[in-house]
Structure 1
Amino acid sequence: MTYEARVGLYKKIERLRKRPLIVYSTRFSNYNSGSMSMDSIPEFCEQILQTPSNSKKVDLLLVSQGGDAIVAWRVINLLRERFDEVDVLVPYVAQSAATVLSFGADHIVMHPFSCLGPIDPQITIQSNNLQMPPKTFSVEDIQAYLEFVKKDLGITASKNSPADSEPSGFNPNVLDHLVKELNPTEIGIVKKSMKLSEGLAEKLLLLHMTDKKQVEGIVKKFNTMTHHGYTIGRKEAKESGLPVEYPSKQLEKLMWAVWTDLSSELKCNVPFDPLIALTANPKMSAALTNNINMGLPYTLTASEVQKIAVVESKQFSSHYDVRDQIIGSGNGINISFNVVSSALGWVRSKTG
């Protein structure tokens, strides 16, 4: 299916829900995953401008593993400036910053296969050694470390600790080990990000909820999960106090049809393999086979464009593209690969 074919699904959802629909989806894969980012805001603005002037309600169909929490705040505020009621439809995954975004909805319509997730921010720090993978961690990781050395190992960082005035395993270097991995600035960034996420989540819930204690309870629950990858299904989300609704069977099928087609277009279930990408071109495949058989050194290149995010409606579609340049070099059967990605930015299609 193509965008033009998806427009038919969007029209069916709009007729069923009696309101316009905007779709926001980001790619998740083993390479070049997309995330919620500020560059999507102009696309949302244009989509809002294209909605009928007499529309008072809007649906946002959302699939994303997260991104910038500020984007969640910005998107909800843009929608609420224009519409009296905002509902979020979740056919599959809306985790991290996408969960924060859903907090700003009057209703969260969740498919049986859908899930939300914890809102504790994950911070990625690139090592000075570019050959090493970046480090990703959260405040919960730091707290878990300190709890482990104190409660499980019986080690405390201070002889004057009120929790253990005569520690059996005192080690003054407990914090030294931590700051060797993460410097104080990085730890501070994580703490500030957690406070920002908590604050935004609370403000978004208070846009449509009046019980502040209930709001604080929801934020606490979603911010204190033991693992960032924990998934929260619609039953648990509803029990937490969120305004979760279950779709009708008809809407359920339409939501899933939209997601399965977007997943295919974004190649969410297709692992990236540079060898497959390089040999997809028959000429490159033949050249590689010929050089391997002859034992000659070679350098072959190929490129492909990948969509990593989509903002669309029945009016028009915008997609964020990234170009991957794959370079394979070797001698005989020994091949090494280098992949260089370059952003192409947002591309708008003609209206459907």
Structure 2
Amino acid sequence: MEKGKKKNSKEKKQKKRNEEVQKEKLPLKSLVPPAKEKKSEEYRYLLFFTYGENTAINRDDMFDLIDQLNKIPTPPEKTRIDMVILSGGGYPHPAYQMVNVIRSKCKKLKAIIPLYAKSAATLMALGADEIVMGPQSELGPLDMQMEHPLIENLNISAIEGYYPFLHLYEKISSDFFPLALRLATQIIATTGIKREDAVDIAINTTTNYITPIVSQINPTIVNMCYRALTTGESYAYSFLYKYMFKDKPEQERMMLSKTTAHALVWGFQNHGQVITRDDAKLLNLYISYGENYDIFNMMYVITKEMLNILSTSPTDKAIRIISTEQLKQLLNIDSYLGYITFLSYKAYSLVPSLKESLKNVTDPKKISLALRQALSQSVTTLPPNMSEIEKNDIAQVSLELLENIFIKNFKEENALYRVIYNRIIREKTFSKKVAEIIAGRIVEAAKELSETIEIEIDKTPPEVISKYILQILAFL
């Protein structure tokens, strides 16, 4: 019995030692919490492609684009570009290549369409990871512009050059042979000649009917248009496969890229057809709503105003890049310029009544006294919640303006311009050239406001009054 107990005791001790050894072999539980995954940095830039109504995307745009992209200091893996496009289209090859260059500079690319991006501009949008569109936004078919092979300096639409041939081909396929067969049957019934002879007569007659129509189609043009459209389809497939559908399983990725690219080329018969955001979603494109994009309304205002500038400017396009940090700075400047616009308006609004009361006064001292009295009375009508600093600013700007008009006899517009220009220069924010441009626009704004929304002006934030000024800064 004692031997058995000793044996059991040895076995227990050995088992305990084995367990301790096994524990030593197990990985230790660390009391140090795992390091938190570092949030990846992302630097966001806005890249504007704004073209005048009659300006096409072309190869020269690459030089402007490279100049702008060279301003990006951040590495591609930390860079996001939001590409804001306003264009009626152009040539597909530079459009395709420009997006390839842009993609080499960033990890993420969004296409923002505030108004329209048609034809080659639609192709550019397909190179993005997603497309942001509002209810007013539109894409277009991948109809490629091309030079007419026979007529110098004439651009033609590939869709509109190829579809007449395609339509005629379909008509011949569906109607030509049935028409010849019916004609042959009638000839046999009325003449009794052999079937072979009747068929020959019918085909010759039908051919003579069709030939004048077919002869109007130039095979060189048809061939060029067909090749342009298939090139557009190939470019679209390449973009969709590499970027928009990259997260799909391989077979689905290929199928979506192929069907979407094909539909964008061959599913439309007119260059100007509109593809809304809902239409685009039906084409499998990744569409985000502008309502969910933080600055979509601002992009709409900027591109719309830039388009207005281009319509009266010797420059027919604008390719510009700006970081979101710069955008914030511009918004602050815009608020400041809006404040100057507000001051100018308040000062300018005093002019009509003073003109009436001082039309027979010539003594400078009496004029100066009248100006100060009018100004003092005007200040008392300002909103009670307005700060004393703002009230003093209005008083100073107004006094300078009124003295320029009524004592120094400047013309109203020149007096207003001088006051605004001096105020901007005093802040040392802009160069003289830029200050001149902005002062001119503020003069227009102050005069327009005084004529249109006199009642609402006191309730309108300065930023809203001058919202269009931001586009000047972005444009310059």
The residue aligned with 1:115 is 138
Asked if 1:82 corresponds to 2:105, the answer is yes
Equivalent pair of 2:127/2:240 in contact (CA under 8 Å) = yes
Asked if 1:311 corresponds to 2:325, the answer is no
SS state at 1:207 partner: helix
Distance 1:140 1:134 in 2: 16
Asked if 1:140 corresponds to 2:163, the answer is yes
SS state at 2:220 partner: helix
The residue aligned with 1:264 is 308
TM-score (norm 1): 0.64
Greater relative contact order, per chain length (Cα 8 Å cut-off, separation 6+): 1
The residue aligned with 1:232 is 275
Equivalent pair of 1:157/1:172 in contact (CA under 8 Å) = no
Distance 1:129 1:264, change over 3 A: closer
Give per-residue Cα distances to partners, 1:14-44, cap 9 Å, x unaligned.
xxx961111011111xxxx101001000111
SS state at 1:78 partner: helix
Distance 1:96 1:21 in 2: 22
The residue aligned with 1:217 is 259
Of the three residues 60, 69, 73, the one matched with 1:52 is 73
The structure richer in strand per residue is 1
Aligned length: 255
Distance 2:72 2:283 in 1: 33
Give per-residue Cα distances to partners, 1:272-305, cap 9 Å, x unaligned.
xxxxxxxxxxxxxxxxxxxxxxxxxxxxxxxxx6
The residue aligned with 2:240 is 205
Distance 1:129 1:195, change over 3 A: closer
Equivalent pair of 2:91/2:145 in contact (CA under 8 Å) = no
Quote how far apart the aligned CAs of 1:129 are.
9.7
Distance 2:229 2:119 in 1: 12
Of the three residues 93, 106, 128, the one matched with 1:70 is 93
The residue aligned with 1:174 is 210
Which of 1 and 2 has greater Rg?
2
Deviates more, 1:170-179 or 1:50-59: 170-179
The residue aligned with 2:45 is 20
Q: Which amino acid aligns with 2:80?
A: K
The residue aligned with 2:24 is none
Quote how far apart the aligned CAs of 1:138 are.
2.8
Distance 1:350 1:113 in 2: 23
Quote how far apart the aligned CAs of 1:126 are.
7.3
Equivalent pair of 2:48/2:318 in contact (CA under 8 Å) = yes
Aligned-pair identity in percent equals 19
Q: How does 1:272-291 map to 2 (within 5 A)?
A: none
The residue aligned with 1:94 is 117
Distance 1:35 1:175, change over 3 A: farther
Equivalent pair of 1:91/1:113 in contact (CA under 8 Å) = yes
Equivalent pair of 1:104/1:205 in contact (CA under 8 Å) = yes
The residue aligned with 1:13 is none
Give per-residue Cα distances to partners, 1:209-259, cap 9 Å, x unaligned.
241101111112111212221110011101211111112275231121112
Q: Which amino acid aligns with 2:308?
A: S
Distance 1:34 1:135, change over 3 A: closer
Quote how far apart the aligned CAs of 1:266 are.
1.8
The residue aligned with 1:330 is none
Distance 1:350 1:262 in 2: 9
Q: Which amino acid aligns with 1:258?
A: I
Distance 2:142 2:152 in 1: 30
Q: Which amino acid aligns with 1:102?
A: A
Quote how far apart the aligned CAs of 1:139 are.
1.9
Distance 1:135 1:68, change over 3 A: closer
Distance 1:147 1:122, change over 3 A: farther
Equivalent pair of 1:26/1:310 in contact (CA under 8 Å) = yes
Distance 1:170 1:157, change over 3 A: farther
Quote how far apart the aligned CAs of 1:144 are.
2.0
The residue aligned with 1:190 is 225
Structure 2: where are the runs of 5+ without partners? 1-41, 182-198, 247-252, 327-472
Distance 2:317 2:119 in 1: 16
Distance 1:306 1:194, change over 3 A: same
Distance 2:475 2:269 in 1: 45
Quote how far apart the aligned CAs of 1:142 are.
2.0
Give per-residue Cα distances to partners, 1:302-324, cap 9 Å, x unaligned.
xxx633211112389xxxxxxxx
The residue aligned with 1:10 is none
Of the three residues 38, 63, 66, the one matched with 2:59 is 38
Distance 2:85 2:152 in 1: 36
Structure 1: where are the runs of 5+ without partners? 1-16, 161-165, 271-304, 317-348
Quote how far apart the aligned CAs of 1:125 are.
2.3
Distance 1:220 1:89 in 2: 23
Quote how far apart the aligned CAs of 1:179 are.
4.2
Equivalent pair of 2:82/2:109 in contact (CA under 8 Å) = yes
TM-score (norm 2): 0.48
